[in-house]
Amino acid sequence: MANSVLETISSDFASVAEKAGASVVAVHARRWMPTSGIEWKKGVVVTVHHGVQRNEDIKVLFDGDRAGPAKLIGRDPGTDLAVLRVEEGAPDVPQLGDSTNLKLGHLVLALGRTRRGDLVASSGIIGGISGEWRNRRGGHLDQHIRLDLALYAGFSGGPLVNARGEVVGINTRGLAHGRAVTVPVATVNGVVDELLEKGHIARPYLGIAMQRVDVPERMASKLPVETRVGLLVTHVETDGPAEKAGVLLGDVLFEVNGETVEDLTVIQDAIAAAKTGDLMTIGLIRAGKVEQVSVILGERPR
* pLDDT at site 65: 80
* pLDDT at site 118: 92
* pLDDT at site 3: 67
Q: Measured between alpha carbons, how far is 121 from 20 in angstroms, rounded to an integer?
A: 11
Q: Measured between alpha carbons, how far is 169 from 172 in angstroms, rounded to an integer?
A: 10
* pLDDT at site 100: 94
The set of catalytic residues is 50, 80, 156
Q: What's phi and psi for 244, nearest 5 deg?
A: -65, -30
Burial of 275 by CB count in 10 Å (0-12 exposed, 13-18 middle, 19+ buried)?
exposed
* pLDDT at site 73: 96
* pLDDT at site 200: 87
For the chain, 302 residues long, give each residue's pLDDT as a single digit of tens. Answer: 556 888 888 888 899 899 999 999 999 999 888 999 999 999 999 999 999 999 999 999 998 788 999 999 999 998 999 999 998 766 678 899 999 999 999 999 999 999 988 999 999 999 999 998 887 777 889 999 999 999 999 999 999 999 999 999 999 999 988 789 999 999 999 999 999 998 988 888 899 999 999 999 889 888 888 888 999 999 999 999 999 999 999 999 999 999 999 888 888 888 878 888 999 999 999 999 999 999 999 988 76
Picking from 25, 154, 145, 137, the residue whose alpha carbon sits closest to that of residue 97 is: 145
Residue type, 224: P
* pLDDT at site 176: 82
Which residues, in sequence order, are CB contacts of 271 under 8 Å at separation 6+?
Answer: 204, 205, 206, 280, 297
* pLDDT at site 264: 87
Residue type, 92: D
